[in-house]
Amino acid sequence: MSGNGERVRAIIKKLGGVVVALSGGVDSATVLCLAREVLGERVAAATAVAGIHARADLQRARALAALLGVRHLEFPGGQLADPLFLANSRDRCYRCKSMLFRKLREIACSEGLASIIDGTNASDAREYRPGLQAAAEAGVVSPLLEAGLGKPEVRSLAFSLGLKFWNQPSESCLATRIPYGEPLTPEKLEQIQAGEEFLRALGYTTVRLRHHGALARIEVDPSELPRLATPPHRELVLEKLRTLGFRFVTSDIAGYRTGSYDSDS
């Protein structure tokens, strides 16, 4: 494990000064910890604040930056003001990341820091991630990916660094809960956010609430499906999601999986 960490440290050390794209997830948090260790004061963290991200992610990002004593810059993401993003085409992620990295480049210049780094890892490169193209175009450095670390190795490294949320389930933008081609609205995103927060409060750690208009389709770990479908959770979830505006509520017996919509034609 020390070898994994040393490879990442060596990559970061060459950069001199960095802005870390801090999402509040395990990957970018691990990168920030290592960057702070290697570069000291020549590190800043930056987080986009927008209605497309879970509120808990921002809270974790703020807490970690404060704990490490790193400057944490929050900025408006602007995605919900972009009609092409709201159209929710299959290049949505590319548009989002392009906007993000343009703003991060501005921040890096204003802070006098040469590079932007993010938490992309080797596992991400094996999935459908249009945002990777945007990162490449913007010259973003991904130390975990360059070091060949996949998600399991990153979690182990995060644990060794003392990150309390090292085993936090992976998160994604709330827009991924809405099928491509279905317009995004702040109202839909808030329905999703409130519904997932409620489910997590009931103890479901891995959860996605897929938005299909009047129907909410819930994905949880397959082992948790019986608990979701029986009292008292069945009634509690049904009542809550109906108060959020859904007429129909269903659980997906396939359980949670990443990229539910990415294989659709």
> Which residues form the catalytic set?
173
CB distance 28 to 22 below 8 Å? yes
What phi and psi, each to the nearest 5 degrees, are found at residue 206?
-105, 110
Q: What SS3 class is residue 24? A: coil
And the tokens for 27?
């990957």
Q: For residue 117, which amino acid is it?
A: I
CB distance 50 to 80 below 8 Å? yes
Q: Which of 79, 62, 58, 78 is nearest to 70 (CA)?
A: 62
Give me the sheet containing 18-21, strands edge to edge.
71-76, 43-49, 18-21, 115-117
**Cα separation, 39 vs 252, whole angstroms:** 46
CB distance 178 to 211 below 8 Å? yes
Cis before residue 232, ω within 30 degrees of 0?
yes
Q: How do strand 18-21 and strand 115-117 relate by DSSP bridges?
A: parallel
CB distance 87 to 183 below 8 Å? yes
Provide the strand spans (E) within 102-195.
115-117
